[in-house]
């Protein structure tokens, strides 16, 4: 039987090639195939990694899905003059009912994800084997994502 670590590159390729973007609303997680947001949403996490997005007037103008290289401009984030104005994020690849999705977490939601990782580590539970539920708390103009082990 293969170890999870040896499957990591395959999991990452699958997540990158087929994932659709989910978005956080004050009412829940909106999947591109749904008309109403899900709250809560049971998921299985494929992988996660650092990311960053530069916003102007609340609209993304540049994005990096690895925290180091821009997807749009194909330039290194370290050489970009605007890197200090980027929002640090966590790019979370997950599946819901076997379909892969990508969710970008920032600020408090990213902190809440780090707490989940710490809980799983303390319980010696591999992230890939954990059943997770995403809940969103309505903060009026934005949604704060919480993670529960189910």
Q: Are 90 and 51 in contact (CB under 8 A)?
A: yes
C-beta neighbour count of 40 within 10 angstroms: 15
pLDDT at 37: 96
Which residue has better confidence, 99 or 135?
135
The 10s digit of each residue's pLDDT in 34-64 is: 999 999 999 999 999 999 999 999 899 999 9
H/E element, 10: helix 4-18
The 10s digit of each residue's pLDDT in 66-101 is: 889 888 778 899 899 999 999 999 999 999 998 899
Q: What is the pTM of this model?
A: 0.82
Token match 């299985």: residue? 44
User: Structure tokens of 17?
Assistant: 């090639």
- Listed by start position, the domains of the chain span 4-149
pLDDT at 3: 45
pLDDT at 2: 42
Q: For the chain, percent helix, then strand, then coil, each to nearest 5?
A: 25, 45, 30
* Mean pLDDT value across the chain: 88
pLDDT at 19: 64
Residue 97 buriedness (CB in 10 A; 0-12 / 13-18 / 19+): exposed
Q: What percent of the chain has pLDDT over 90?
A: 69
* CA distance between the termini of the chain: 26
């Amino acid at each position: 039987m293969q170890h999870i670590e040896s499957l990591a590159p395959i999991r990452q390729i699958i997540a990158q090639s087929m994932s659709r973007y989910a978005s956080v609303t004050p009412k829940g997680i909106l999947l591109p195939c749904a008309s109403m947001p899900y709250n809560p949403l049971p998921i299985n996490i494929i992988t996660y990694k650092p990311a960053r997005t530069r916003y102007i007037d609340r609209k993304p103008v540049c994005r990096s899905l690895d925290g180091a290289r821009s997807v749009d401009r194909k330039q290194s984030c370290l050489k970009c003059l605007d890197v200090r104005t980027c929002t640090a994020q966590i790019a979370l690849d997950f599946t819901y009912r076997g379909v892969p999705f990508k969710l970008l977490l920032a600020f408090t939601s990213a902190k809440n994800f780090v707490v989940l990782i710490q809980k799983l580590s303390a319980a010696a539970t591999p992230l890939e084997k954990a059943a997770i539920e995403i809940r969103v708390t309505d903060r009026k103009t934005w949604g704060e994502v919480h993670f529960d082990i189910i």
